[in-house]
Amino acid sequence: MKNHIALILLITLSLYSCDTDDDSALPAETVIVAITDQTEEDQMGAFAENAMAVFNGSVWSVGGYNAYSGGNRSSDVWRSNNGVNWISVTSNQFAARSGHTLTVYDNKLWLIGGVDTSGSYLGDVWSSTDGENWTLVTSTPGFLDSAYHEVVVFDNKMFLIKISNSTGDNVSVWSSTDGLTWLEENNAAFAAREKFEAVVFNGAIYVLGGKNIGTIYDEIWRSTDGSTWTEVSTTAAFTARHSHTATVYNDKVWIGGGFGTSGALGDLWYSSNMVNWTRYEPLPADRGLFDHAALNYSGEIWIFGGYEGLPAGPYEMTGKIRSIEELP
C-alpha cells in the first residue's frame, strides 16, 4: 500500500466573491493542505459510482461499479475500518444499482433508489442496522422512483431531493421520519437537474451544481426548512459541473472534481459562507476526477475511486483512495 504525503501546498489565493453588489477586492488567504495517497488500489479494485457513508466507525460502500462486476452495476456491500483495507460484507440482497444514495439516519444505513441493470429508475427504500442484513422498508414510496438524487438529514428528518415525477421540469423535495411515509415539501423548488450535490451547513440545506439534458449548472440553492428555496448566487464562483462531490469539513464546504463543459475537472474549491469561494488546483495533478465519493472521515476529506483522466479523456475507473487535510 502506498501511504505517504504526496503533496503539501502552501498557497496564497484570492478569495472570489459571488456578490455582484460588492466588487471590492477581498483579502487573500493562506492555505496549507496535505494530500495523502492512501492506496493506489486495494481489495475493491477499481470502483466508481459507489454510494458511501461513515457508520458505526467504519466506511461503507454500496453498489456502483467495481473490478468484480464485469462492467455491470453491482449490489455489493463493502466495509473498511480504516478507509484503505476492505472486506466484502454481502451481495444480492437488493437489485444491483448506481445513481443511488446511502445515508445514516436513526442509527441505520438507508439505501434509496438508483438505476438498475436494465437502466430503469428504482423506487425502493432499504435500511440496515449493521450493514450486513438489509430490510425492504417500502417499494412504493410517495416519491415513486428516484435516481441521481440526493438525501440529507436535517431537522431530524431525511430530505430527498430529485426531479419531480409530476412535472419533469422541476426539482421536488420530500421528507420522511421513518423511510416509509414521505411528505412532498415542494414539487417545484427550482429547475430540474440530476447528479448535483447537497449538504447541510450552517443551519440550512444547500444544493450545488448538477445537470439536466444539455445544461450544466453552477448554481447554489438554499433552504432552511426544505420547503422554501432561494438561489444563493446567479453564477457561483466554481465552474458549472455535475458528478462532483461536496463535503463539509473544518467549518467549510469543499467541492472536488466533477464533469464540466470541457470534460473532467481536477480542481478543488472551498467556502465558509457559500457565497465567497476559494479555488486551488490541481487535485492532485492535471487529471480530472468524477463519479467518485468523498467523506469527512478521521479528521480529513477522503476521496474514493471514480473515473480519472485528462480533461478531454480517455477516462479510466480508478481504485485510488486519497485524503486531504487542512493543516494549522
135-177 pLDDT per residue, tens: 999 999 999 999 999 999 999 999 999 999 877 899 999 999 9
- Flag whether 117 is in a domain: yes
| d(C-alpha 231, C-alpha 218), whole Å | 11
- Flag whether 107 is in a domain: yes
Instruction: Please report, as a single letter, which amino acid is at residue 205.
Output: I
Return all residues near 290 (Cβ < 8 A) that are at least 6 apart.
243, 244, 257, 258, 259, 264, 265, 306, 307, 315
Listed as ranges, residues in the chain with pLDDT below 70 are 1-30, 234-236, 281-285
| Cβ pair 158, 146 in contact under 8 A | no
- Flag whether 6 is in a domain: no
- Flag whether 218 is in a domain: yes
pLDDT score of 281:
58
- Flag whether 39 is in a domain: no
| Cβ pair 95, 122 in contact under 8 A | yes
pLDDT score of 26:
44
What distances in angstroms separate CA 5 from CA 8, 33, 56, 310, one per listed residue?
7, 10, 27, 23
Looking up residue 239, the CATH number of its domain turns out to be 2.120.10.80
- Flag whether 202 is in a domain: yes
Count, in order, helices (H) and strands (E) of the chain: 0, 33
| d(C-alpha 83, C-alpha 322), whole Å | 10
| d(C-alpha 173, C-alpha 188), whole Å | 8
pTM for the model: 0.91
pLDDT score of 33:
87
- Flag whether 156 is in a domain: yes
Q: Show the domain range for 186.
A: 48-78+89-290
- Flag whether 13 is in a domain: no
Sign of CA dihedral 178, 183, 186, 189: positive
| d(C-alpha 300, C-alpha 315), whole Å | 26
Domain count, the chain: 1
